[in-house]
Amino acid sequence: MAKYIYQEENWTDFKWDEKKINVLFGEVRNLQGKISGQMNSLGFSSKKEATLKTLTLDVVKSSEIEGEQLNYQQVRSSIARRLGMDISGLVSSDRNVEGVVEMMLDATRNYEKPLTNERLFGWHSALFPTGYSGLYKIEVARYRSGEMQVVSGAMGKEKIHYEAVSPKNLEREMQNFIDWLNNEKRLDPVLKAAIAHFWFIIIHPFDDGNGRIARAITDMLLTRAENSSDRFYSMSSQILLDKKHYYAILQKVQHSSGDITKWIVWFLACLKNALLETENSMKKVLEKAKFWTIHEFTSLNERQRLMLNKVLDGFVGKLKSSKWAKITKCSRDTALRDMKDLIEKGILQQDESGGRSTNYELKRF
């Protein structure tokens, strides 16, 4: 057997065991449809907010997988500006944040566009605007001209995890990949996303940024699978949680002779977990949307709206008049009047757990 999968003849004629993936695949497709339906039942602003939150998480977590910590507020602000969203607390963003955001939005907003060398080079250039990765100068917006090894460990004690495709074969390999991605119409886009992720990682065409670009391609194909640029789950967040297995399974399957069943099973399980996580958090979003539909015409002041949104978003700790006063920057008396008014309107009630001070909670609606 060849040392690496790409050394096999016709190595991209991937095989997998349908029986081993069918149940998982069905569950994933079912969850996508279910959550997509819930998303479409939300109002425009709730839907936009959910998409903003998902895209922000995706950008932050995809970089975190590579050990790079991006500022959450900078990423959120950059995405909101590019989506034309009017949100409070916008901050300016670093050039590297803008670049990652640009790539992710191009992948998910322009998901129907074909993938080309130029588009990939644009993404790569956006990831490395200075031409450096950390302290090292790299080849930007072009495929690497040198050999590539994935190594770990201290200098002199390095462990080689992977030796990528030779640079002399890169153009041919990437052309095969791009042609397949743009022209293969029979495969379900979810399966296509799994295969594309693995295929791109195996080629490893760039000096750096291969993981982030592979995940952007994955997001592009998953967006195609839903035929909507509204994002409601983050694959990168889930990969980060299972990072150890992510690398372990890639390492295992890179030595296979073309059977990638284990990789597809891992990918679908990861995607299913990302969807389940979203289903859980969607319950809060749907409850919030339902609450504001019920109270669309209820007369409320700004302090009450602010605090009710905080409670609906999962307020931590007990709701007391002292906390209300502190957060809304009003007197304790005003806070009590606000809360009493909400009790009269059937929105709040006193917490029955008792104790020395009075606590309040949202009445079931």
> What is the tally of structural domains in the chain?
2
φ/ψ of 313, rounded to 5, equals -85, -5
Q: Is residue 334 part of a domain?
A: yes
Please tell me whether residues 275 and 308 are part of one structural domain: no
Please tell me whether residues 205 and 238 are part of one structural domain: yes
254 three-state secondary structure = coil
Q: Which residue bears the tokens 């949307």? A: 289
Please work out, in degrees rounded to the nearest 5, the angle formed at the alpha carbon of residue 68 by the alpha carbons of 67 and 72.
130
As a whole number, the mean pLDDT across the chain is: 93
CATH number, domain at 301?
1.10.10.10
- Domain region containing 353: 295-362
**pLDDT category, 74, cuts 50, 70, 90?**
very high
DSSP 8-state symbol, 114: P
pLDDT 10s digits, 32-70: 999 998 888 887 877 888 899 999 999 999 999 999 999
Please tell me whether residues 221 and 323 are part of one structural domain: no
Please tell me whether residues 81 and 155 are part of one structural domain: yes
Q: Is residue 140 part of a domain?
A: yes
pLDDT 10s digits, 193-219: 999 999 999 999 999 999 999 999 999
Please tell me whether residues 274 and 302 are part of one structural domain: no
Q: Which residue bears the tokens 């994955």? A: 218
> 36-68 in b/e burial notation, b at 16+ Cβ within 10 A?
eebbeebeeebbbbbbbbbbbbbbbbbbbbeee
DSSP 8-state symbol, 149: E
| Percentage of residues of the chain with pLDDT beyond 70 | 98
- In the predicted model, is pLDDT for residue 1 greater than 60? no
CA dihedral 283, 285, 288, 290 (to 10 degrees): -70
pTM of the model: 0.85
Q: Is residue 37 part of a domain?
A: yes
